[in-house]
Amino acid sequence: MSIRIGIYGYGNLGRGVECAIKQNSDMELVGVFTRRDPASVKTVTGAKVYHVDDALGMTDKIDVMIICGGSATDLPVQTPALAKHFNVIDSFDTHAKVPEHFSNVDAAAKESGKIGIISVGWDPGMFSLMRLYGACVLPDSNAYTFWGKGVSQGHSDAIRRIDGVLDARQYTIPVESALEAVRSGKNPELTTREKHTRECFVVVKDGADKARIENEIKTMPNYFADYDTTVHFITKEELDRDHSGIPHGGFVIRSGKTGKELEHIHIIEYSLKLDSNPEFTASVIVAYARAAYKLSEAGDKGCKTVFDIAPAMLSPLSGEQIRKELL
Amino acid sequence: MSIRIGIYGYGNLGRGVECAIKQNSDMELVGVFTRRDPASVKTVTGAKVYHVDDALGMTDKIDVMIICGGSATDLPVQTPALAKHFNVIDSFDTHAKVPEHFSNVDAAAKESGKIGIISVGWDPGMFSLMRLYGACVLPDSNAYTFWGKGVSQGHSDAIRRIDGVLDARQYTIPVESALEAVRSGKNPELTTREKHTRECFVVVKDGADKARIENEIKTMPNYFADYDTTVHFITKEELDRDHSGIPHGGFVIRSGKTGKELEHIHIIEYSLKLDSNPEFTASVIVAYARAAYKLSEAGDKGCKTVFDIAPAMLSPLSGEQIRKELL
Q: How many CB atoms lie within 10 A of CB A144?
A: 21
What is the three-class DSSP state of A272? strand
A132 vs chain B: nearest CA distance in angstroms? Answer: 6
Give the residue ranges of chain A where pLDDT is below 70. none
> What pLDDT, on a 0 to 100 scale, did the predictor assign at position B1?
76
Among the partner-chain residues B23, B102, B280, the one whose CB lies closest to the CB of A140 is B23
Interface test with A, best of B264, B304, B305 (most A CBs within 10 A): B264
Chain A residues within 8 A of B315 when measuring between CB atoms: 132, 135-136
**If contacts are CB pairs under 8 Å, which of residues 20-49 in chain B contact chain A?**
20, 23-24, 44-45
- Tens-digit pLDDT profile for residues B259-269: 999 999 999 99
pLDDT above 90 covers what percent of chain A? Answer: 98
Inter-CA distances, B271 with A129, A271, B31, B144, Å: 15, 9, 33, 12
How many DSSP H helices and E strands does chain A contain?
11, 14
ipTM of the complex: 0.97
Cβ contact A315–B20 (<8 Å): no
Q: Does A311 touch chain B (CB under 8 A)?
A: yes
B208 touches chain A (CB under 8 A): no
Residues 113-132 (B) with a CB less than 8 A from some CB of A: 119, 124, 126, 128-129, 131-132
Q: Is the peptide bond before B124 cis (omega within 30 degrees of 0)?
A: yes
- Whether residue B227 is predicted with pLDDT greater than 80 in this model: the reply is yes
Give the mean model confidence (pLDDT) for residues B166-176: 97
- pLDDT tens digits, residue range B248-304? 999 999 999 999 999 999 999 999 999 999 999 999 999 999 999 999 999 999 999
In contact, A82 and A67? CB cutoff 8 Å: yes
Q: Determine phi and psi for A68, rounding to 5 degrees.
A: -110, 30
**Residue among A93, A2, A9, A14 nearest A282 (CA):** A14
How many angstroms separate the CA atoms of A210 and A67, rounded? 40
Looking at every residue in chain A, the average pLDDT score rounds to 97
The per-residue pLDDT of chain B, averaged, comes to 97
| Among chain A residues, CA nearest to B25 | A139
Residue A58, pLDDT score: 98
Express as a percent the part of chain B with pLDDT over 70. Answer: 100
Q: Using CB atoms, pick whichever of A260, A272, A282 lies closest to residue B45.
A: A260
Summarised one tens digit per residue, pLDDT across range A265-291 is 999 999 999 999 999 999 999 999 999
User: If you measure CA to CA, which chain B residue comes closest to A327?
Assistant: B128
Cβ contacts (< 8 Å) between A99 and chain B: which residues? Answer: 320, 323-324
**Cβ of A279 and B264 within 8 Å?**
yes
pLDDT value of position A1? 77
Rounded to whole angstroms, the Cα distance separating A306 from A314 reads 10
